[in-house]
Amino acid sequence: MKRIFTYLFLIFSLAALPATAQEVDMSYVFMDEDGEIIDNGSTVVRNVISVDDAGSEIINSGISVFNLAGSSSDYLKVHYVIERIDNGTYQICFPTNCNMQTKVGTYETGMGQLMADLQDIQSEWFPAADGECVVKLTIEIFSREGMFPPTYIHEAWGPTITVRFVKGAIDEPVYGDVTGDGEVNIVDVNFIISRILDPSSDVLAADANKDGEVNINDINTVIAVILNNN
């Protein structure tokens, strides 16, 4: 009971803080293989396995970046957070160079312009065995000044989506489990608080109620799950 009162104290102490979810520029959006725009904050699941020319199994996200505004002067970078990778290798290619990772962490692609209005970002997982690879993708928009050397100026953050690559059975995530450890407890509350206090971090990772914003309502969501015994 004492711990619950601690939770409630944190809620009241943070109640006056503003929401820290940043305004999203929708000039560039993520699009699936059917030509449908993926809503900001959405999670898509990919579990279709194919085999590449080298004989390796591969699960492709089928995700592209689409120029919704029609402007061609912007420069883009895709930030990606690997939240889980049970085995194998994750690869992302954007706009022309490819990066490969085998560990959780925060990364980013190179800088460049779209080569067309619609460009495949070649986000894919090479699974070595059954498991999952969970990656959060965020678009960042820049303008450029000068040529030698160029200076890139941050203009806006674009949408964020999560891609779950799955080989084998699909386990549904636990509601309110923002840390991804399969449990809902004080660790999740602390995680949300840290994101509210530090808006420069990966804010949407703490979006417990999946409404596209991170604020006191997400803390309330986790508390409700804890009080109802998960």
Least confident of 50-54, 59-63, 66-70, 177-181: 177-181
Question: How far is CA 124 from each of CA 18, 143, 149, 165, rounded to the nearest angstrom?
Answer: 36, 28, 32, 8
Phi, psi torsion values for 27, nearest 5 degrees? -65, -35
Helix (H) or strand (E) holding 131: strand 131-145
pLDDT over 90 (residue 174): no
Burial of 72 (0-12, 13-18, 19+ CB in 10 A): exposed
Q: What is the pLDDT of residues 25-40, one digit of tens each?
A: 899 999 999 999 999 9
Which residues on adjacent β-strands are paired with residue 137?
Answer: 80, 161
pTM: 0.69
Residue-wise pLDDT tens digits, 74-109: 999 999 999 889 889 999 999 888 999 999 889 999
**Backbone CA torsion sign across 136, 65, 199, 154:** positive
CA angle 170, 164, 182 (to 5 degrees): 60
Domains of the chain: 1-18+172-230 (1.10.1330), 21-170 (2.60.40)
Query: What stretches of 112-171 show up as alpha helix (H) in DSSP?
Result: none
Residue with more model confidence, 136 or 180: 136
User: Average pLDDT, stretch 158-181?
Assistant: 84
More confident residue, 198 or 152: 152
pLDDT above 90: percentage of residues in the chain: 47
